[in-house]
Structure 1
């Protein structure tokens, strides 16, 4: 099913780190009825900033009519890739530390 990102809903606010997470607000049509739903995915911006990156973008979503308040966006894996890259950097750091210690 296809939906369109029409805005953002206020998410969490972390005053300690000065960032705010906003969930994507998506408009979609299912069986001749329009739904405005929040996504499980979110975007993070500095406090006070308004996210604008995906307004108007069409996305594929997983929609369940029995729970019409939340959807999952298909193919949005930004956080997963960032986590994998950070893990690989950490692994590289441990490996380099081990190699350096062996040579000393």
Structure 2
């Protein structure tokens, strides 16, 4: 855990509202870090997945494996990014 999380968890207050706010901040930071780590794993999978074409542009025998890994990674990323929920980003990005 990082220094900021330790500081937030160590912070004490007699004010119940402030204590609840601190607890929610710690929880949100932890959730965002888990999401960051999951997205990093997806990026690692994508970056290590060899393109399934030879130098002439013909598909290789790796195409089915590539397609499966790519589709799974993109589906997981879409879920983590919350693309089914409208946000500032999804509202302004071009639809393809």
Give the structure-1-normalised TM-score: 0.31
Q: Which has the higher strand share?
A: 1
Q: Which has the higher contact order (CA 8 A, sep 6+)?
A: 1
**Structure that is richer in helix per residue:** 2
